[in-house]
């Protein structure tokens, strides 16, 4: 009996130490109460853009121009903010999880449109709707001329370097500040596949782009580490075969092309192939930089259950799960919806705030467990 009591005491002590360690690492607490990281610096495309397109004086990303008008932003902000959704994005939920303000867009700061209510050391967003990981010259050389923006990952990284003096004032200061910040490197690379898919390029041809996309992301991670970054979240691609726009573009009577949820198998296999190779590269970089945390965010695994079991999460099936009718020439959504919270897809490509919320909760749960 004494031995049992002693073992129980040791077990309780271990549980207490573990719990206290998790709290110090920013894991414990209710949703929105993690304070380990003092800032988020975000790079990516429309899945993470919190307003750079909105403040872009040249409006290069014409294909995303509808994101600047209602009904975009109607749910949470009650006005368009440049976010390509009805409300918040994954990066917004991540910032709220960390107890930080929603990220201000770099171009709004640069152009003097955001003069107050922002602190550089609380984070800045460099993501732009329509952005690719690769420079536009890569696509032009391959006859893909529908690239809507030149704000590639390399351009966004250059913006960050020019912005550094606003964040820190010396090399040692930068190492300290950036070391206590969280870097969201993506989602980026999705448009590198979207643009050729819109032109009906074959999946086999697009798979040949994967190493180039991953090399560009890897290069960005290397540069951020040398600038002082220590913790990076690198998301993979979503199950793009479930996107409403692709279900419309690649509609076929051959039922073998679809999985049990009605998603296009070959496009999901493309995303899976990319994600697998991205994870291999992230693991290589982690071994190369053992004093950093380079964390893969599995957007694919987080999103797939919404499509496979939509009713379980309060959503309609993907075949009619599209909400923002009348935008983008009305080519994506057959009819408008009254309540976006019951839909996975917002406009055929981007998701609703309700879908992003569920995905963000999964990513936060899986990711913060590793910190």
| Residues with catalytic roles | 46, 347, 350
Q: Are 248 and 333 in contact (CB under 8 A)?
A: no
Torsion of CA 144, 145, 150, 151, to 10 degrees: -50
Q: Report the alpha-carbon angle 294-300-301, nearest 5.
A: 90
- What are the E-state strand segments in the chain? 39-43, 104-105, 123-125, 181-185, 231-235, 293-297
Torsion of CA 352, 357, 362, 367, to 10 degrees: 110
Q: Are 67 and 129 in contact (CB under 8 A)?
A: yes
C-alpha–C-alpha distance, residues 261 and 16, integer Å: 43
C-alpha–C-alpha distance, residues 84 and 127, integer Å: 12
Kindly list the distances between the CA atom of residue 140 and the CA atoms of 21, 131, 150, 158, in Å, as whole numbers in the listed order: 51, 15, 12, 22
User: How many other β-carbons are positioned within 10 Å of the β-carbon of residue 204?
Assistant: 9
74: Cβ–Cβ under 8 A, 6 or more apart, which residues?
86, 87, 340
Q: Are 26 and 36 in contact (CB under 8 A)?
A: yes
C-alpha–C-alpha distance, residues 354 and 313, integer Å: 10
C-alpha–C-alpha distance, residues 250 and 254, integer Å: 11
Helix and strand totals (H; E) in the chain? 14, 6
C-alpha–C-alpha distance, residues 316 and 342, integer Å: 6
């Amino acid at each position: 009996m004494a031995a049992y009591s002693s073992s129980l005491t040791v077990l309780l002590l271990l549980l207490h130490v573990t719990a206290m360690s998790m709290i110090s690492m920013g894991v414990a607490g209710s949703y929105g109460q993690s304070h380990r990281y003092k800032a988020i610096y975000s790079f990516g495309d429309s899945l993470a853009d919190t307003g750079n397109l909105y403040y872009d004086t040249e409006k290069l990303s014409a294909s995303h121009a509808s994101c600047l008008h209602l009904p975009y932003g109607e749910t949470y902000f009650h006005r368009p903010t440049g976010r390509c959704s009805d409300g918040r994005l994954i990066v917004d939920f991540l910032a709220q999880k960390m107890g930080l303000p929603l990220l201000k867009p770099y171009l709004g700061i640069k152009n003097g449109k955001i003069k107050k209510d922002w602190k550089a050391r609380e984070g800045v967003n460099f993501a732009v709707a329509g952005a690719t990981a690769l420079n536009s010259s890569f696509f032009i050389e391959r006859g893909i001329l529908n690239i809507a923006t030149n704000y590639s990952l390399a351009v966004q990284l250059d913006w960050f370097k020019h912005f550094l003096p606003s964040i820190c004032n010396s090399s040692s200061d930068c190492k300290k500040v950036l070391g206590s910040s969280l870097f969201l490197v993506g989602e980026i690379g999705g448009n590198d596949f979207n643009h050729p898919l819109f032109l009906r390029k074959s999946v086999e041809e697009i798979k040949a782009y994967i190493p180039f996309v991953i090399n560009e992301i890897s290069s960005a991670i290397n540069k951020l580490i040398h600038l002082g970054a220590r913790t990076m979240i690198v998301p993979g691609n979503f199950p793009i075969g479930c996107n409403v726009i692709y279900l419309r573009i690649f509609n076929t009577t051959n039922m073998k092309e679809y999985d049990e949820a009605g998603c296009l198998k070959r496009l999901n296999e493309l995303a899976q192939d990319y994600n697998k190779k991205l994870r291999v590269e992230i693991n290589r970089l982690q071994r190369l930089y053992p004093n950093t945390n380079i964390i893969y965010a599995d957007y694919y695994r987080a999103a797939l259950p919404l499509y496979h079991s939509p009713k379980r999460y309060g959503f309609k099936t993907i075949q009619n799960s599209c909400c923002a009718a009348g935008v983008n020439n009305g080519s994506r959504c057959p009819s408008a919806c009254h309540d976006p919270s019951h839909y996975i897809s917002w406009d055929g490509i981007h998701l609703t705030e309700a879908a992003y919320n569920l995905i963000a909760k999964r990513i936060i749960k899986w990711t913060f467990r590793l910190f």
